[in-house]
Amino acid sequence: MRSHTIVMAFCLALSVSLARAETCPNPAFAVNGLHLDTQGVDGTMARKAALEHATAEAFQIVTNRLLLTDQPAANQLTELTAEDFIDFVHISSETALAQRYIADIDICFDPVRMRDQFIQRNLSWSELFSSPILLLPVWQDPSGIRVWARNITWLDVWRDIGERDNQLLRLKTLSPDLALERRLPPEQIKDKQPDILALSAKAAGAQQLAVLYAGLDYTRSPPMLIMKAELFDADGVFLSEINAVEIEMNGRTNLPEAFDLFRQTFITTLSDTWQRANLYKVDDRADIHVELSVNSLEMWYRLRTLLAELPIVQSITVLRLTSRSGVLKLKLSGSVEALQMAVRSTGYRLQANGDVYQLTVNPG
């Protein structure tokens, strides 16, 4: 069967779809789903310009994702040629016209070369994605408390957050759902009842959750807009307050702007906290000992593989193995707390027992 190549007087169109997709060895250095649509004096120049622009954009996304904020030396990275750090470019589809180039691509940068530049400039960075964090926005006004309603500005601000933010944070939301609303009443979410928060986290497969409250208080003069973000673990236990703001409703308050600013502050604060707790360590990486209770070699290999495949685990050394247990030494690229969250997402728990951590099945 002939391929569908159409030749016209002033236009040559060629559509290509690559069947084989490469996987970036470290997803923190990857930018996926870039859409290119560029015009030029001819198809070749359009393609060149499109790929150069996309590479520069992806390089900026990755450096912003990894590096701690407020590091002046990071500005020196703009002097580098982004193409020099590419591992590979995967083109999922492309169309080359006479004076236009359209494509969807993924770009993977080489971690070794990029780390070398960070080290040369004495920069601090993190490469570890967080375990899923559920966002539970709550809106309250005189008409009531809303969590699942649509077309409420405060709630809508958060629903597409995962699509808009290229952070190391893995953020999730629950889509409005009648069955969920019955199980998770807005009033009980607003009151932060631990069992309801735990049920919400379980429904989303999240290891932490943030209750994001905003409400209008007309009992005060002038009326106040109150916004607060609080972080909880998967059991609904309070961890910390991320941000809290009160704004006078004086007739000049722009609610969408206030909401967006609060959202940006929340993301920046939580992201910075995560990165600082999980900085990439060139030397002296954290080591911990983990004890596994096993009843067969098959179980031993399965649990060891489970730990080895976690992104935070850089290497594993076997210290002891008997017919009933084994002890591993794990070298980490982040905090023990991050490891515990990652382990919990696999259905297990990692709990301290003296100088050793024990891997047990998560009762939840």
Predicted local confidence at residue 30, as pLDDT: 94
- Which range marks the domain in which residue 212 is found? 133-277
- Cα angle: 142, vertex 157, 31; to 5 degrees: 165
266 with 215, same domain: the answer is: yes
Predicted local confidence at residue 364, as pLDDT: 59
147 with 262, same domain: the answer is: yes
111 with 237, same domain: the answer is: no
**DSSP assignment, residue 285?**
-
In a domain, 128, yes or no: no
- Omega of the bond prior to 111 within 30 degrees of 0, cis? no
Chain segment 76-85, per-residue pLDDT in tens: 998 999 999 9
Output the pTM of the full model: 0.76
Predicted local confidence at residue 56, as pLDDT: 95
99 with 155, same domain: the answer is: no
247 with 323, same domain: the answer is: no
Q: Which region, left, alpha or beta, applies to residue 79 given φ > 0 means left and ψ of -120 to 50 means alpha?
A: alpha
Predicted local confidence at residue 15, as pLDDT: 34
168 with 239, same domain: the answer is: yes
Predicted local confidence at residue 285, as pLDDT: 60
Predicted local confidence at residue 363, as pLDDT: 67
Predicted local confidence at residue 25, as pLDDT: 82
43 with 97, same domain: the answer is: yes
Single out the residue in 244, 277, 310 at which a domain terminates: 277
262 with 297, same domain: the answer is: no
In a domain, 127, yes or no: no
Please report, for residues 100, 109, 318, the alpha-carbon distance to residue 36 in angstroms, rounded to integers and kept in the order given: 10, 18, 48
Give how many domains the chain has, as a whole number: 3
In the predicted model, residues of the chain with pLDDT beneath 70 are: 1-22, 162-165, 282-286, 363-364
Single out the residue in 226, 250, 277 at which a domain terminates: 277
143 with 267, same domain: the answer is: yes
137 with 92, same domain: the answer is: no
Asked if 88 and 109 count as a contact pair (C-beta separation under 8 A), the reply is no
Predicted local confidence at residue 63, as pLDDT: 95
Cβ-in-10-Å burial (0-12, 13-18, 19+) of 193 comes to: middle
17 with 115, same domain: the answer is: yes
